Amino acid sequence: MAAPFMEELSDYLGSPEPAVRLIFSILIGYPFALVYRRYFFHQPPYIVHLFHTFSGLALAAFNFGSQLYHSAVCIVVQFLLLRLMGRTVTAVLSSFLFQMMYLLFGYYYTATDQYDIKWTMPHCVLALKLIGLSFDYYDGGKEASQLSAEQQKGALPSVPSLLEVLGFSYFYGGFLVGPQFTLRSYLKLTCGELTDCPGQPPNSVFPAMKRFSLGLVCLAIFTIGSPIYPDSYFLTDEYEAQPFWYRCFYILVWAKINLYKYVSCWVIAEGVCILSGLGYNGKDSNGVDQWDACANMRVWQYETTPLFTGTIASFNINTNAWAARHVFKRLKFLGNKMASQVATLVFLAIWHGLHSGYILCFSMEFIIVTVEKQALSLVKDSPMLTQLSNSSVYPLIYCVQQVIHWLFMGYPLVPFCLFTYDKWLKVYSSVYFCGHVFFFAAYLLMPYLRKALVPRKGGNEKKEEEINTGTAQRREREKDAVWAGRETEREWRRRGGRTRGETDAVKERNVGYQKLQANKHKPWIETEYQGIVMENDNTVLLNPPLFALDKDAPLHYAGEICGFRVHSGTSGSGAAQFEAVVLDRSTGEGLVRSKEPLDCESQREHSFTIQAYDCGEGPDGVNSKKSHKATVHVRVNDVNEFSPVFVERRYEASVPEGRLFDRIVRVEALDADCSPQYSQICFYDIITPNVPFAIDNDGNIKNTEPLDSKRQRVHSFWVTAFDCGKNRAQADAQVIVTVKPSCKPGWIGWSKRVEYTPGSGNIPLFPNLHLETCEETVWNIQATVELQTGHIGKGCDRDSYSDRSVRRLCGAVRGEVDLLPPPSPAANWTAALPTLPSSDSSLVFSFNGSTHVAVVPDSVAAAVSGDHFTLQLWMRRGGANIQPPANQARGSHREEETIICSTVKNDDSFSHYSLSVHGCRLSLFYWPDVATARPVKFLWKLEQVCDSEWHHLSLSVQFPSVTLYVDGVTFDPALIHDNGAIPSPAPRQRLVIGACWEPEEKQKDIVNNTIPESKDSGRYLGGYRGLLSGVTVRPGSVEPHSVVECLYACREGLDFGDLETLGSGMKVHVNPSQSVLVLEGDDIESFNRAMQQVTYRNSLRFATPGVRPLKLTTSLRCFSEEGCLSLRQLEGYLVVLQPDAPQISLSGVGPHLARPAPEFEGPHGVPLFPELRIVCSLTHTVNTAVQGMEGGALMSDAVAHTLDGCEVQPLGEELNPEREELLVDIDTLRERGLDIINTTAYIAITGAESISVYEDVLRSIRYRLAKGSARFERRFRLSCSEMNGRLYHPSHLLASQQQFLHPSHHSGELSGHTLPNPHRNSVVPGAATVIIMVCVGFLVVMVILGVFRIRSIHRRGDGARGGSKESSNQWDDSALTIIVNPMESYESRMGTSGDTEGECEEEEEVVDSPGDSSDDQRIIIKKEGRDNGPRRY
């Protein structure tokens, strides 16, 4: 339904359908985000993961259909790599190679020279996500000190679950077009941490709507501008004919508009992320909430910056940041920043696709950025250019910058959008490669411009550096002097004080003395120290203590230690965290301390180096010497500052009742302390009293007594945890244990017996059925419902009309010839063939392979000549009471059995064909011309040929084309070959059914159509063993497939109620005969609803009653195959009840018809039934549900109101053709497709047609007398039959009994009816005569009833003695059988069918006397075996 809507929408918008689908999918992220905020924000994380996964999969299916499996495969493989390879470089490289190779192969197989929206578009975004996931998981295994700030934000401390990876990958806000974000951020979103209101959805609606509105503006600009400035214009001759300036201007405007395509998508997608909370980025320095965590565009910077680097920094931010974090910075081992930059650009070019345009675009980007950086450096270093950039003319310079910026921003964009070499080269040639010329020339000229515009620094620069260096040294000396001065003052005070002159003399003497002594030795310290510091303290206790020794001691300055320097070590610790101070200069004692209190949980061990230096040769520290570097290892001792925290606040479990379990659920608490002493959980405790549960030190909870669901269904209690420092958990955890009642898996609500009332449409077979799995996790369910109908008629319940009538109702082309008609004087070649009863009122002929052969007369065979014909038949191999011939040895190889063998005369030649079966093969041997052509044999290997079931075959021959339909399904020949040299059949037309003849000289003695046992049984070859029915041949064009399906169609079968209500993931399959229905699904609730919609339907108003066995077979597949459930097969039966007989009345015909003689003698005679009414007392409502059944649309309407024959019979003597006749319009009958048999004994109109048609035809029947041949009285009987004679509706009032008067006769009363006569000499019988005739008629009826009663009793005795012997012309009343005990199996009832038929013959025939005056008559069921029974039409 969505496809036509999207096509119409895309046509209306004038955009490609994939683009419309993409925009629609991005926009639908806003409703998804609102649903998440409203319904899933407070749900557990796994629920949120499921929502994100299925919403993303829905978007993928909507855009790419079944190709969504590409993303699923890559996600699963990535998860397996993380699980199996762990935090290794191999895992990172494997992920990188697999994801990139998969993406590149996708580009290779799907890429075209146009911009197509295929599955590779979101997959390139997904590839970066999954590669980044492998890097983040690898970083999670490193120490925090070894990671940068960016790496620490994305590092994963533990391996993610598959559900987390799926939700992260399919998140609707970034699946299709980005942005990129880390799994760490996504997990914070699912835990509800990314919000400005803790515990509540974020206040992000307004920021999201701002980005949404901005995105719509950008989308509108692109939508309006892209048709005006299309990509295709570059490749036109008109573009090349434009002046150079216009071609450049077109590139500028085109690039500006074309980039809005990306801007709009990214800004709208960013709004989705903001609305969901993923865009939350904390607060800035002013406390304002920031929502730019997923910003992929800085639109203001993008619109205003005049720099190429500014545009790049504001465009596709997250992708550029991803490339910088995971490619550029991780290539620092190359030692060359430019090499890392080139490698990053090459990666981005290949990531975009395999077209040459991407390589050229990113190479131009590298050149442009390089030249721009040199130009910016030149402006900065050049005073003139700096002054110019700060002058009042800068706005003009800015405009020029923008023109150059966007012109050459569009220049590399041309190959990016045109992809292939031939296209972008044509455009670049048209603008004379101006971009390449401009930037390469600028790159070459930049050094010369620098020389010309930047003044040389030379000596001034050096002097400035020396000044800066000298200033630093001077400051250091001043500090030393101050320190030395203080020392001198203390010394003066120690000595008791001197005069100022004395002091100056002492200073001069000391200075002179020090100059004489040199600093000869370096200080010495230990090579390694071990230190301990308590957590939250800063003093380090070293072992050994820190002392620095100098061999120049006790000299002043040279022998003293002035300080210690701390250098960073391998762990990253050093001067930033520790410092060392001198406690005593003379002794060299020192102290190491941390600048801030240390945290054991952040870093437990620190390593750095320390170095001592002396005071040099004087107060200014000149010629100071340093010791070697000593390694210091500091361990931070833990303090029990954290309490245990449970992993989950609530633990839930379900257990069956009545059992003791070693472990029901395991609770787990963690302690954030760094040492094993305080971080381990020593024991757990249940704090809720009087509960039947216990917990061990590992957190395993078990029950101490069997649980009873009736006594208490849910147990709720609280547990706590203690670490080894006796700290209790911050918050206790709740445990909920649900006790499940005893459960037995299987189907519940199975009804073994189902009753069906004919005409009731569809009925559900399992209205209350549902599957109980006892909470076993099942991922696939398959149920097979089998309805066994093989014992009903020809494999199932079909129409009860004759084969000829069914063909007409199915719309078959007329002109078929019945090769096995009912035996009659005109069709006596089937008289000797044994027949079997059939519930569908058709004759079934039995062939035993030897003596049963039907030889069709030449007059009939001549009607089916030609090389284009259609052969149709019902066939069943084997069959009841068919034994192999006596001359066939047991176990010997059976010969080919011939169904039909015919030689046909065609104009001036003869053709020959035979249809045979051999094993499970069906073969057609066809000889187009027995005189010249070679024969061809068509073979079909069919299981239907040898399964001993009824099958319908339709073989259409239009040589050399042959079409075979078996049960309405087409089969192609498995082998077609030439049989080689075969003796040509005799050029004589003949047609045999059940065998094929031997050469002409051997066939001399055929008695009718049966070979006597005493004769030579070898006269016919390949006798057929089995049952045949409805064998017809029609020359001419072949039958349509729909007609063949209709002829075979079963009117009963299994069906599914409403396919639109079928749940997601459910599948339904029904076989062609609708006897087997298979349901498959993965959700138990959906499966139960589907099972309750499995229905049985029978489109026949008069369905065949009886039992249809039902079987239900169930197969379950579980995640754990070893412990999966196994359900037994269920068996039941469907009982089709006895249908109500239709109450059809023949009315509107009076008992008398008196007309003047001239009217009878007129050319048209007198109509017999001018006011005939045929009324059906049952309301036949056509069930619309049956229209979906095979052939139901063709048959259901006709079945409701159809007759198949009516007969008008004169009572008494037959018609005298010289004096009287019945007139019927033959042309009208042919137009309506009806046949007529007009004899002196009766007139029969046959063919299945509606009641209204038969009314019109019967009203048109006229009776005419020859002049001078008027009769006083003539009686007629009108009778009609339905369903091939199964339902017989006679007029027992003799409603068509007519009395005819002539003026030359003087007749009185007749039959007690007073008839008005216009002629004076007419005689009407009196009332006495009427009374006498009624009494006599009643006496005759009683006598006849007595005779029939005696005969029926006598027949019952003969039937008991004769067993189950059946007459070939016995009436088939299987549809009228009354079920006494429906619980009885159908096999037992079939075994006693002979007795039932014998008992049914006791039914009394009701004969109404002519004196009855009622018009509406009830249905009288007639037996065909009786003398006055209806004829079979």
* Residues tagged active-site: 316, 352
Q: What separation, in Å, do the N-terminal and C-terminal C-alpha atoms of the chain show?
A: 50
With the C-alpha atoms ordered 148, 151, 153, 159, is the resulting torsion angle positive or negative?
negative
Instruction: Return the structure tokens found at 688.
Output: 């809720």
- Would you say 729 and 685 are in contact if contact means Cβ atoms under 8 Å apart? no
Instruction: Return the structure tokens found at 12.
Output: 């209306």
HEC string for 752-808? CEEEECCCCCCEECCCCCEEECCCCCEEEEEEEEEECCCCCCCCCCCCCCCHHHHHH
- Taking the C-alpha atoms of residue 1224 and residue 1220, their distance in angstroms, rounded to an integer, is 13
- Would you say 136 and 180 are in contact if contact means Cβ atoms under 8 Å apart? no
Element (H, E) at 1216: none
Element (H, E) at 1143: none
- Would you say 1215 and 1269 are in contact if contact means Cβ atoms under 8 Å apart? no
- Farthest-apart Cα atoms in the chain, separation: 193
Strands across the sheet with 1202-1210, in order?
1235-1238, 1243-1250, 1202-1210, 1276-1282, 1287-1290
Element (H, E) at 351: helix 337-352
- Taking the C-alpha atoms of residue 733 and residue 1229, their distance in angstroms, rounded to an integer, is 91
- Would you say 1038 and 956 are in contact if contact means Cβ atoms under 8 Å apart? yes
- Taking the C-alpha atoms of residue 771 and residue 781, their distance in angstroms, rounded to an integer, is 10
- Burial of 950 by CB count in 10 Å (0-12 exposed, 13-18 middle, 19+ buried)? buried
- Taking the C-alpha atoms of residue 393 and residue 1078, their distance in angstroms, rounded to an integer, is 83
Q: How many CB atoms lie under 10 A from the CB of residue 429?
A: 10
- Burial of 419 by CB count in 10 Å (0-12 exposed, 13-18 middle, 19+ buried)? buried
Reference 345, options 362, 328, 358; nearest CA is 362
CA distances from 932 to 928, 935, 981 (A): 9, 10, 12
CA distances from 1345 to 1342, 1354, 1358, 1402, 1405 (A): 5, 14, 20, 11, 8
Alpha-carbon torsion angle 1206, 1211, 1213, 1219, nearest 10: -70
**Residue 206 DSSP one-character state:** H
Reference 841, options 1396, 1289, 1286; nearest CA is 1286
With the C-alpha atoms ordered 688, 694, 696, 700, is the resulting torsion angle positive or negative?
negative
Residue 1001 in 3-state DSSP?
A: helix
Q: How many CB atoms lie under 10 A from the CB of residue 1205?
A: 27
Reference 915, options 928, 903, 924; nearest CA is 924
**Residue 1181 DSSP one-character state:** P
Instruction: Return the structure tokens found at 979.
Output: 């049989």
- Would you say 1081 and 1064 are in contact if contact means Cβ atoms under 8 Å apart? no
Instruction: Return the structure tokens found at 672.
Output: 């954030």
